[in-house]
Amino acid sequence: MDFAADRETESLRAEVRAFVREHLTSDVRERVASTGDYHDREFHTALAERGWVGAHWTVEEGGRGLDRAKTDVVYEELASAGAPTEGLAITQIVGEAVRRVGTAEQRERLLAPICRGELVLALGYTEPGSGSDLASVRTRAARDGAGWVVDGQKIFTTLGNVADYVFLLARTDPDAPKHAGLTTFLVPTASAGFSAAPILTLSGQRTNVTYYSGVRVGDDARVGEVGQGWEIVNVALAFERGGEFAAQLRRLVDAAVAWGHDEERGDETRFRGRLGRAVASAEVSRLLGVRASWSRGSAEAGAVEGAMAKVYGTEALLRESRSLLDATGVQGVRNRGTAGAAAGGELQHLYRESQIATIYGGTSEVLLTLIAQQRLGLPRGRRRPPP
Ligand SMILES: Cc1cc2nc3c(=O)[nH]c(=O)nc-3n(C[C@H](O)[C@H](O)[C@H](O)COP(=O)(O)OP(=O)(O)OC[C@H]3O[C@@H](n4cnc5c(N)ncnc54)[C@H](O)[C@@H]3O)c2cc1C
């Protein structure tokens, strides 16, 4: 099997690298660092102008019709450069759900504006007390004439402060079994009764608590059938998890190599050993990501492959960033922008990011359970012995 990319894909890679040099300016980086939002409207619009928002969606939908391999190259290069792509990633996850289960009217209304960079979407699943056990969400959407009224609170709604819509998982039937009483909605953030308050994470990234107080939406805000929310969220989750952490590992390796050169410590055997292991982890992570992407033709397979890529990539990022940071000694703990910071503070920043990466999109423990059950066929949990 030939793993090498074809010439067209490599030329796309060069195009993305040139784009990054032109558009990922110090102004963009400063805006991202000061707001904590890993999204920048100006940068996002420039991405859309190239056709890289919804890149693999069909031309009729507003996309560029790129195949999976080429689309992955675009994401890989943007992420490796540390570009603010959270808006791109989350919007496309929700967009996939709209493509699959949205009405013709919703697809018409939303997909082309998404591809033009005019709409940014956030994910509103998690609640205080309902993270891993997502099916227990309590935010309520109740029938109100022809529409719905939403009341409740979500936590960790990343980009909920800048997005145009939140893709909300809400309980529509409190009497149904917990997985069956859920429905998904696209709630406009401009709605009366919606608000967002910041949560700053360890890496400086902002996420939000979002509040819904008597928020009224029409029935055209509902995505999919009433009671189908659990299935829809699970399809969307399969698209959320993948090999994006390979690019973070590549950033880590690049930063460590730069430090090795700067400090003329690159020859030390201990450092070289650590670097070698990080390079190997980055490559394994990349290959698992390619497999996850390839297997997305089937949502069920994609869920397991995506979970494998996510657990491996995030745990490797945690392990290798800690190991390389240790090698840099006291300079390693200095922040980005601080004089004398090892590798410009990049290793330390990636180490902090790795702590939360093992949590969002499903924690490592929960995803390992999913892999054990769905791939290895292991039982759900220890059963009580019969009395
Ligand atoms: C930076 C960041 C951004 C996020 N962005 C979003 C977003 O945009 N939208 C959104 O909806 N959510 C978002 N999340 C939420 C994220 O998906 C949840 O934090 C995650 O699913 C874990 O849920 P929890 O925080 O409630 O932890 P809990 O579920 O309470 O877990 C606590 C601990 O218990 C363990 N645990 C829980 N259940 C089990 C089990 N069955 N078996 C073994 N161990 C278990 C977990 O692994 C974890 O270590 C984000 C989170 C973070 C940190």
Tokens of 333: 């703990």
Residue 57 banded pLDDT, cuts 50, 70, 90: very high
Q: Which tops the pLDDT comparison, 349 or 379?
A: 349
Q: Is the pLDDT of residue 300 over 90?
A: no
pLDDT band at 302; cut points 50, 70, 90: low
Q: CA 374, CA 253: separation in Å to the nearest integer?
A: 33
User: Separation of 360 CA from ligand 1 center, angstroms?
Assistant: 6
**CA-closest residue to ligand 1 atom 48:** 363
- H/E element, 122: strand 121-124
At residue 384 the predicted structure's pLDDT band, cuts being 50, 70 and 90, is: low
Select from 131, 145, 128, 139 the least CA-distant residue to 185: 139
More confident call, 186 vs 384? 186
Predicted local distance difference test score (pLDDT) of residue 153: 98
Tell me: pLDDT of 167 over 60.
yes
pLDDT of residue 238: 73
Tokens of 13: 């890679």
pLDDT digits (tens, 9 = 90+) for 254-298: 999 988 887 767 667 788 899 999 999 999 999 999 888 888 766
Residues 71-102 have pLDDT tens digits of 989 999 999 999 999 999 999 999 999 999 99
CA of 285 to the centre of ligand 1 (A): 22
Mutate to test the pocket of ligand 1, among 139, 156, 244 (most ligand atoms within 8 A of CB): 156
Q: What structural domains does the chain harbor?
A: 7-119 (1.10.540.10), 122-227 (2.40.110.10), 241-374 (1.20.140.10)
User: Could you read off the pLDDT of 334-368 as tens digits, one per residue?
Assistant: 888 888 888 889 999 999 999 999 999 899 999 99
Quick check: 1 pLDDT over 90? Answer: no
Our answer on whether the CB atom of 365 is closer than 6 Å to any ligand 1 atom is yes
The pairs formed by 326-335 with CB atoms below 8 angstroms and a separation of 24 or more are 326/274, 327/256, 327/265, 327/270, 327/271, 327/274, 328/259, 328/263
State pLDDT tens for residues 171-210: 999 999 999 999 999 999 999 999 999 999 999 999 999 9
Residue 311 CA to ligand 1 center (angstroms) comes to 13
C-alpha span between 48 and 329 (Å, rounded)? 42
Q: Tell me, what's the pLDDT at 212?
A: 98
Closest Cα to residue 55, out of 42, 69, 40?
69
- Burial class of residue 234 in the structure, from the number of CB atoms within 10 Å of its CB (0-12 exposed, 13-18 middle, 19+ buried): middle
- State the pLDDT confidence band at 331, using cuts at 50, 70 and 90: confident
- DSSP letter for 357, please: H
pLDDT above 60 for 60: yes
> Which of 240, 305, 315, 346 is labelled catalytic?
240
Residue 381 has pLDDT above 70, yes or no: no
**Beta carbons of 141 and 150 less than 8 angstroms apart:** yes
pLDDT at 368: 95
